[in-house]
Amino acid sequence: MLSSYWESIRTGFFAFVGVGALVLLPLVALHYYRFGRVEPRRALVLYGLLAYGLVALALIFLPFPARSQVCQGEQMLSTTPFQWVTDVRNNLAATGRSGLPAVVTSSAFVQQAFNVALFVPLGVVLRKSYGRGPLTVVAIGFALSLAVEVVQYTGNFGVYPCPYRISDVDDLISNTGGALLGWVLAPAALVVPAVPPSADSAAPAGTVTVPRRVVGLMADLLVLLVISRLVLPEEPGWFLAAAVALRVALPSLTGGRTAGGWLLRYQVRRADGAWANPARIAVRELFGVTGFLAYAVLVSPALGTWGDLAVVALVLLGAFAVPVFRRDQRGWHERISGTRAVSTAIAEPGPGGPAQGGEPLQRRSTAREPQPDRR
């Protein structure tokens, strides 16, 4: 029995690995559409629920038997509550064993224990991540268990002419009890995060998302390639000079905008929203894309493949991957230089004033200030 359980768990986990890869990009797109970033706790809970659901389905429905092995005349519906207690006694009588060790190792007891454990994670997540109460957890656990029993009794909605798993009222009791047990144990589940409310999940108004900056970067690189091919001599030094001019000198003169920034309507500002001086922009580019281009032209030919892979991984993780999960969407090059990208679609800040784009917009009070009595 245990070997069949582990085989089903392994099948469900491998299914999660495959399905998880397929839903990764849609999940990222959904989070960006709703929150302007990928909220890590929400993503962790969603992926955990996906893994749990696939493993649970594998345990419930696998292995699928051949159609010739069903409809053998067995009773596939049990409506007697706590029939498993009688089954445990029958197991002990058949094997001539007694005592607590014999009870907990009997097949009937192990099956009910698995039915309870199967729904414990559901109760943990519903309380710890979503803050649901015991009655809601019991209702959800009962409804899901009832749905499973209906599917089993109908032969997977007619896929099989007869059910191949027994629909048992004890399963309803055990699954619902497991969900309630998970609710009780939830405070001890330290690795399960609480899902934050939408207001705490969303990026502040005016935050420039990573995909938006990537498109702007691609526009800058396209301009750089056109200039280097059509105007400049084909020498690495001129290419780097053009990159510095486009990514450092131009933003310093235009209030933090590059060609891509003009196209995507964002600019580089200081972390507090004020004007970013040329030194900050230069540091930002040294640890960002321009520094990576300098590495590729000057340093990479002297290093091996592993050095290149390490630098590429560092840049991709620090500048693009990790910021996806941050509220401010800032990469490591921006945190080092004390800068951030600010949307110009919300506000057009002057050279000396703070930008409005990176912080939540404050509502103005409609109430008029009290005026002094002039009578």
Q: CA–CA separation, 283 vs 273, rounded Å?
A: 17
Among 201, 235, 262, residue at a domain's last position: 201
Domain total of the chain: 2
- Kindly report the average pLDDT of the chain as a whole number: 84
Residues 270, 278 contacting (CB under 8 angstroms): no
pLDDT surpassing 90 at residue 284:
yes
Min mean pLDDT across 69-78, 162-171, 282-291 is at 69-78
Among 176, 201, 226, residue at a domain's last position: 201
pLDDT at 141: 96
% of the chain with per-residue pLDDT over 70: 90
pLDDT at 361: 38
- Residue 278 resides in a domain: yes
Summarize pLDDT for 249-276 with one digit per residue, the tens: 999 888 889 999 999 999 999 998 899 9
- Residue 89 resides in a domain: yes
Are 84 and 172 members of one domain?
Answer: yes
Min mean pLDDT across 54-58, 168-172, 190-194 is at 54-58
Does this model's pTM top 0.85? no
Are 138 and 257 members of one domain?
Answer: no
Are 80 and 119 members of one domain?
Answer: yes
pLDDT at 1: 55
Strand 77-78, strand 266-270: pairing:
unpaired
Summarize pLDDT for 106-133 with one digit per residue, the tens: 888 988 999 999 999 999 999 999 999 9
> Between residues 19 and 291, which one has the greater pLDDT?
291
Domain span holding position 42 = 2-63+75-201
Are 52 and 21 members of one domain?
Answer: yes
Are 34 and 139 members of one domain?
Answer: yes
Are 31 and 90 members of one domain?
Answer: yes
- Residue 12 resides in a domain: yes
pLDDT category of residue 4 using cuts at 50, 70 and 90: low
pLDDT surpassing 70 at residue 92:
yes
Report the 3 state secondary structure along 165-214: CCEEHHHHHHHHHHHHHHHHHHHHCCCCCCCCCHHHHCCCCCECCHHHHH
DSSP classification of residue 148: H
Among 166, 201, 236, residue at a domain's last position: 201
